[in-house]
Chains A and B, each alone.
Chain A
Amino acid sequence: MMRWALGTLLLMGLFACQSSSLGPEPTEIEIAALAWIDDSTDAVAHLTQQPATCLTTPDDISVKRGALLFSSPLLLGGQAAKAELRCAACQRNGRGNDAFVFTGISGAPGTADVTHGLFSKIRADDVFNPVPIPDLAQAEGRRLVDRDAPGALETFLSEQIVEEFSGTPPEDHVIEDLAAYIRALDEQACDINAIEPQAWQSEIDLVRVTLVQKEYSGSYKDAMRAALGRIHARYPAHPEIRADLVALSRDIASYADLMAVLPALDDLSRALSAAEQGSLYNPERLARALR
């Protein structure tokens, strides 16, 4: 009897320790991508994993900046941006998204009507004609535009942003970085069927790379702040980390020399790492939160 009671106490103590290090269970999930998942999809897997990175030059600085911009809602403008949609919502990690469903825009999961007037009137055609979302690393995605013809991909991307969505015409260097990212997407660079975890580290890596460039247009600042926002959504049980993320985002918005925020980014990385198990990057934690 005594041993049973002692065991129970020990278990309770262990549980209490674990709970306090993980933080309280979140009661509300703010992950934007949750709104675009087909009901039949395993949400936990979808929100904690993604198609493998398929980049021929993953360490190229321009490719990394392009990857960050690819996840920036404000690049698209209009209703898409208001819904926090971004290029990477459809092309996760530059690949595809079989689970994508957006009311009024999608037919079957994984499709979108790219000429729907909801996002832009320029290409609106009054016909509901959703098409499968292509994987940009595979032939279906590479066929969209000749990536080798000089300027063709750049023109295509600029028109997508302005005409398919309601974005303002991006600066040339923004388009150059996006184009570098798209050109680097190639199925030969990975196991095409592999998956990898979604992680705050990759978001922070892209922010860090973008911070150290010398000239910042608004688009890069927007993209960095959006990345911090996505991490913020994954740490609902850690108010101090969240406050640091908000402070960093505001500093990025207001500072002229962003190198000044690098120490804060280092501190933040350490805090994110220490609290990772309690974040919604942890599938078990996310599964409990989704129940």
Chain B
Amino acid sequence: MKRALLVAVAAIAFSGVPAMAGGSGSGSSSPSSSAPSYDPVEEYQSGVEALQAGEYKKAERAFKRVTKVAKKDANTRYMLGLAHLGQEEYKAAAKSLEKAVKYDAKLYRAHAKLGMTYLKLEKPEKADQVLAALADASMACASSCPESADIAAAIAEIEAARGSAEPLETSSLAPVVQQVSLETGDVLYSEALRLINLGAYDEAIAELREAGTILGPHPDVLTYIGFANRKMGERETALSFYTAALSIAPDHLSANEYLGEYYVELGDLDRAQAQLDKLNTLCPFGCEQTEELSEWIANART
């Protein structure tokens, strides 16, 4: 049953859109509805609730549990950073936020918090490095990419603090996490799949990133971030997201399908066939993911 959530696909459905995504090996249409078999999502969401309630230690514990499964999930590292900030643990916060921006260079809210944290730690040169990275991103973006507003906001926040003669107040780093329904995450996911269908991959990734902030490291969301990146030619990034999705849900239908397509693109048909064999096992009554990967492999062999 749909609670107020999840995506799509997916799907992911998803799946149900991404319920459409065929998440968690099912055909659920939305990520939130397929979450029960996926512990990191529940842990993530309980961590967000704890953050909103100001229970920072509890939030820290929840996000740390998520990182044991979703080691390279940028949103989780960002949230863990916020949990540390709430406890005024600035060194630990910086460490988490550094990982957040390392795992997703476009998570600009993490850049902003990292720059501010460096200032709190009296490391202005490091804050300047963050500003420089943001300036580069702004140049590359040229105000036309979906994240341009986030970049501008991050730069403004750090520059305002950098320019102040007063020491950075602890309150300025206190975590503020808005309450957003899971359904909003589902709608974002659904919208992302629509954008992917239309070939608007950049915009889709921005929507998926936002969905991931709400839903956590859901395999539907991770799968389609990987898919959109692959369509943009970012194959290594795509592989990392497929791998992340499969580390959480090894039987995820769409992640397995798209990993197979990735292998076809590399010309590695043996590995693609192995993915197809796996899908055939996972779908004893047939599924779209098997059909699509079969077609990819057949086309590559002719």
Binding site for B on A (CB under 8 A): 28, 30, 32, 34-39, 43, 73-74, 77-85, 101-105, 116-121, 124, 221-222, 225-226, 228-229, 232, 245-246, 249-250, 253
Contacting residues, chain A, for B8 (C-beta < 8 A): 79, 83, 103-104, 118
Instruction: Find B197's partner among A32, A34, A124 (CB 8 Å cutoff).
Output: A124
Using A35-B29, A83-B10, A124-B197 as known contacts, say yes or no to A103 and B286 having CB atoms under 8 A apart: no
Top 6 nearest A-B pairs (CB, nearest first) are A83-B13, A104-B190, A229-B285, A84-B27, A81-B288, A117-B194
Taking a contact as CB atoms under 8 Å apart, the answer to whether A103 and B27 are in contact is no
Contacting residues, chain A, for B33 (C-beta < 8 A): 35
B183 within 8 A of A: yes
B289 within 8 A of A: yes
Taking a contact as CB atoms under 8 Å apart, the answer to whether A103 and B284 are in contact is no
Question: What is the CA–CA distance of A102 and B15 in the complex, to the nearest angstrom?
Answer: 10
20 interchain pairs (CB within 8 A)?
A34-B1, A35-B16, A35-B28, A35-B33, A36-B2, A79-B8, A81-B288, A82-B288, A83-B10, A83-B12, A83-B19, A83-B27, A85-B29, A102-B13, A104-B187, A118-B20, A118-B194, A221-B286, A226-B286, A232-B285
Instruction: Find B20's partner among A77, A83, A120, A226 (CB 8 Å cutoff).
Output: A83
Contacting residues, chain B, for A253 (C-beta < 8 A): 286
B217 within 8 A of A: no
Interface size class of B (residues with CB under 8 A): 35 or more
Contacting residues, chain B, for A28 (C-beta < 8 A): 37
Instruction: Find B19's partner among A35, A101, A249, A250 (CB 8 Å cutoff).
Output: A35
Using A102-B29, A249-B285 as known contacts, say yes or no to A79 and B12 having CB atoms under 8 A apart: yes
* 0/1 interface trace, chain B 273-302, chain A, CB 8 Å (1 if under): 000000000001111110100000000000
Contacting residues, chain A, for B123 (C-beta < 8 A): none
CB distance from A234 to the nearest CB of B (A): 13
Using A35-B16, A35-B30 as known contacts, say yes or no to A74 and B2 having CB atoms under 8 A apart: no
CB distance from B154 to the nearest CB of A (A): 29
Instruction: Find A79's partner among B20, B183, B286, B287 (CB 8 Å cutoff).
Output: B20
Contacting residues, chain A, for B116 (C-beta < 8 A): none
Taking a contact as CB atoms under 8 Å apart, the answer to whether A228 and B15 are in contact is no
Name A246's closest neighbour in chain B (CB-CB).
B284
B74 within 8 A of A: no
Contacting residues, chain A, for B76 (C-beta < 8 A): none
CB distance from A90 to the nearest CB of B (A): 13
Question: What is the CA–CA distance of A121 and B204 in the complex, to the nearest angstrom?
Answer: 14
